[in-house]
Structure 1
């Protein structure tokens, strides 16, 4: 239990394009420390943030190569550090420490993020529900205060987080307008239940949103794209609307950009709501040390119960775009970076230890 364990992993040998710099290697995974668990990994999802980390563009968390990417994990807890022994033997979904290390057959996971998976849900679905639905729940319910009958605009609605917000928004009783960048992706959004679909490559997409809302604008906008999409979305916001700033898929450098003007916000009488989801044991401690407001582990557990019940009763379903073979992981990341994928891309390790 207190010894390193051998694992197979995808290692970023240097910073660059995933298809060029990722290599399969055998590594040693250290024992878990206080507040940590070591997980025998069964499945995980690929994320845009993984691509940015591998390319060295993620200034929030710059990593020197070599390192193992991967910010999500599903598996069975093999060992635990002090304070987390009660999790040993349980199948969980969680976030690896410091949000990397997940592309491996064993991973060190932050115990504060570990959420139990019931027997009736598969490893693949357990991986696919985690970030889209927890982020979506936090964004739509906690930050956006979405009510039944309101209109929700979801950008990049065919992607991993966007598809989750679309499905969850419908389950919460909203009228959903979904944007995507191709006819195939728009058809995909319609299949997921979108009431209206718009190609955001159309020059007049803002006018289309306004027509669909009879000139009133939307109540809530889920925006994980950033950049010009955000600026244009401000024109779509209704009175007392809530714009959810949930990510920067267009370019991670936008996190520190200066492209937003206060004028449309002030004159538009709508809220701009920051959305950053990390469950922690000590929110006040994080506030004092990092200056960030992050929700507590107990908040995550409450949301997890609600999300699992929505899945169990069939009101929502996970959106698995592809199941990726271990050997095809770098290529899948390249296709994701080129916007050629839909839904969640889930990698199964074949590990059942």
Structure 2
């Protein structure tokens, strides 16, 4: 089979190599999946760089989110078991963590309903307890993680403010349903948020960026607001001033979705049921901005790493009729 493999750590476009290799053999509790679609996530870039919290042995195949097909023909979604990731014709996954792919979504959309939407659901509902009528601010609102949070916030009845970088991403954020869109490259984010909220600030802030975005969050969070820390796509991990959280009465909430898969897997299943229902009702639909063949995976991962994409890029190792792409 064909698979992208990383033999040395570095930038994705430099270290990912498309190779012929043997199909992986499932271990205890694992299943072999034919990859129907693999979506590119920022952690794929971190894996290539050797900067992710999980460091699989070299060489490994990146690709942390797939829609696949079991040997008995079931369409499922899964997070592949590294080092046998999703940018390949076949991948491995833990059988206990495989979830049914929603019928309402195609392969690329179904794959995208996993990490970003599970993260959004846990962040907004489990951690921040977002309520209808509250104001939600989403950083990087046009990206894969941010676009999921925007849709979930709207589905929950919140007023959503999206912060983006550039006019093209601003247009995407508006199409996603943001009530207010702020272009951080052209506007003062802090002033714009205060103007949009009558000076009150946002009740919940969803931050997958870190760095300057977190500084803006601390200055625009409302009384008894909640800042959900999801990741650090900016490359800068902030050091919060806890005295500021004390005097302003807000909460800083961390979210590592992967922990739920081991600490409380029943909640992951419950979340998937909620997301499947929302997709069936048309309340959410993952934004897949581009679909590329397997040969385009390295370029796609690099573009995500460079922050120039919107939504998700889907890698399609096989065509719709099951033949190699």
Give the TM-score category using the shorter length.
Answer: over 0.9
Bigger mean CA deviation after superposition, 41-50 or 227-236: 227-236
Aligned counterpart for 1:264 among listed residues 244, 250, 254? 244
2:21 is paired with a residue whose SS is strand
Q: 1:33 to 1:224 in 2, by over 3 A?
A: same
Name the structure 2 match of 1:38.
Answer: 32
SS state of the match for residue 286, structure 2?
coil
CA distance, structure 2, for counterparts of residue 131 and residue 107 of structure 1: 17
Unaligned runs of 5+ in 2: none
Residues 281 and 169 (structure 1), Cα distance of their counterparts in 2 relative to 1, 3 Å cut: closer
Match of 2:49 in 1: 55
Offset from partner CA, 1:238-276 (integer Å, 9 cap, x none): 11111000111111x62xx6x222122111201111111
How far residue 217 of structure 1 moved from its aligned partner, in angstroms, is 1.0
Work out whether 1:332 is the aligned partner of 2:262: no
TM-score, normalisation: structure 1? 0.86
Identify if the C-alpha distance between structure 1 residues 29 and 279 changes in structure 2 by more than 3 Å, giving closer, same or farther.
farther
Q: Quickly say closer, same or farther: Cα 1:326–1:98, change in 2 above 3 A.
A: closer
Are the aligned partners of 1:245 and 1:274 in contact in 2 as well (CA < 8 Å)? yes
Aligned to 1:200: 184
2:284 maps to 1:277: no
Query: CA–CA distance in 1 between the matches of 2:301 and 2:270?
Result: 32
Give the C-alpha shift of residue 279 in structure 1.
Answer: 6.2
Inter-partner Cα distance in structure 1 for 2:287 and 2:47: 24
Contact 1:147–1:174 under 8 Å retained in 2: yes
Q: How many residues align?
A: 321
Stretches of structure 1 lacking an aligned partner (at least 5 in a row)? 1-6, 79-87, 284-295
Aligned Cα root-mean-square deviation (Å): 1.9
Q: How does 1:179-328 map to 2 (within 5 A)?
A: 179-202=163-186, 204-251=188-235, 254=237, 259-278=239-258, 282-283=262-263, 296-328=264-296
1:279/1:300 contact within 8 Å kept: no
Change (3 A) 1:167 1:100: farther
> Please, which moves more after superposition, 303-312 or 32-41?
32-41
Once residues 297 and 276 of structure 1 are traced to their aligned partners in structure 2, the CA distance between those partners, rounded to angstroms, is: 13
Alignment partners' CA distance in 2, 1:332 and 1:131: 18
Residue number among 60, 77, 80 corresponding to 1:93 in the alignment: 77
In structure 2, C-alpha distance between the alignment counterparts of 1:216 and 1:236, rounded to whole Å: 8
Residues of 2 paired with 1:48 and 1:184: CA distance?
20
CA-CA distance at 1:334 after TM superposition: 2.0
Q: CA deviation at 1:336?
A: 1.8
Task: Within 5 Å, give how 1:125-144 maps onto structure 2.
Answer: 125-144=109-128
Q: How far apart in 2 are the matches of 1:246 and 1:232?
A: 15
TM-superposed deviation, 1:64? 4.6
SS in 2 for 1:176: strand
Would the alpha carbon gap of residues 263 and 98 (structure 1) be closer, same or farther in structure 2, given more than 3 Å must change? farther
TM-score normalised by L of structure 2: 0.93
